[in-house]
Amino acid sequence: MSEEKTRELVDFFIENVRAQTYENVYGRLNPDGRFIMIGKTPASGIFFNREDVFNRLAPLLANYKTRPTIEFSNVLVDGDQAFLRAAGKGEGIFGVYEQPYYGYFFRVEGDGYAEIIEYLDTVQLEVALFGTEMTRRPEYE
């Protein structure tokens, strides 16, 4: 896989995430591609193809009052792989959702994404989207 094709798909990802047209991104997952959201949140997991993303993940992300606005920096491309650094802020039904340090890893095959892994602060996701209450132990106050 050429770096040019990888960069083209990374640029496509950036353009569509900025426009909040995520369905276009997931539509470019290969039939055997995987989208992985790290952690143990209700939205975390391995989604095995575009239909799985639309059927299982999309309804869980409906808890945004305002979808995050995401800005990208530090795009690294090496052959068929890439990594993006990003930051975002939005609002979930249970509060502000702020991710100052997102990361996305990509692996490209053919004309689509073989793998996308989203790295994020899962506590922010739990609290803002799913209403998880966090209690800090007194000795850490």
pTM: 0.93
Beta carbons within 8 Å of 31's beta carbon, 6+ residues apart: 49, 50
Write down the mean pLDDT value for the chain: 95
Distance, C-alpha 9 to centroid of its chain: 15
Distance CA 80, CA 136 (A): 42
Helices (H), 1-141: 3-18, 22-27, 50-52, 58-60, 122-130
CATH number at residue 118: 3.10.450.50
- In sign, the C-alpha dihedral spanning 61, 65, 71, 74 is negative
Distance CA 74, CA 76 (A): 6
pLDDT above 70 for 24: yes
| Overall domain count for the chain | 1
The whole domain housing 29 covers 3-140
Per-residue pLDDT reduced to its tens digit, 60-119: 988 999 999 999 999 999 999 999 999 999 999 999 999 999 999 999 999 999 999 999
The confidence score (pLDDT) of residue 1 equals 61
